[in-house]
Amino acid sequence: MPSTDVITLSLELSRQLKKAQAARSAGTQVNLLQLQGLFFIKETNGISMKDLAGLLKIGPSTATAFVDRLQRSGWVKRSSDKNNRKVVHLHLTKKGDIVLRAEFRERQKFLKSIFAVLSENERKSLSHILTKLLTAFEACH
């Protein structure tokens, strides 16, 4: 290993995980962005198109095309806001929930195989460190 710098190693691990997950997505029906979108829609039932676009860091027209594809797949349904017809809310369908759960299980299985190289004590230490870093991150943002 050329470097033991924590930041460099963290960035490299993140890059490798994204690359591996993108390669794994190529053989599935859901890509990483779709998975994120389905997750946000499930977490915030009735999320607006505008809010989903913000979370995914995409523009409104891109979000519309994105949701169109999710809807054509039968994973998402739209509903109009009762007070403002311009606002569209998104809901996960039963089919979308099944797809999301299946993909999430597959990705968990993949990540478990990666972390299996660590001992129980190493996993506990890593969990403690990651929790501490997430808490620090949330305090800064």
The one-character DSSP state at 75 is: S
* Reported pTM: 0.72
The one-character DSSP state at 77 is: E
**Top-level class of domain 6-140:** mainly alpha
What angle do the packed helices 6-25 and 32-43 form, to 10 degrees? 100
What is the residue extent of each domain of the chain?
Answer: 6-140
Buried-exposed string 36-73: b where 16+ CB fall within 10 A, e elsewhere? ebbebbbeeeebbbebbbebbebeeeebeebbeebeeb
Segment 29-59, tens digit of pLDDT: 788 889 999 999 999 999 999 999 999 999 9
Q: Is the pLDDT of residue 25 over 70?
A: no
**Which amino acid type is present at position 14?**
S
CA 35/CA 41 separation, integer angstroms:
10
The one-character DSSP state at 29 is: S
Segment 49-89, tens digit of pLDDT: 999 999 999 999 999 999 999 999 999 999 988 888 888 99
**Which amino acid type is present at position 63?**
A
Place of tokens 């089919």: 95
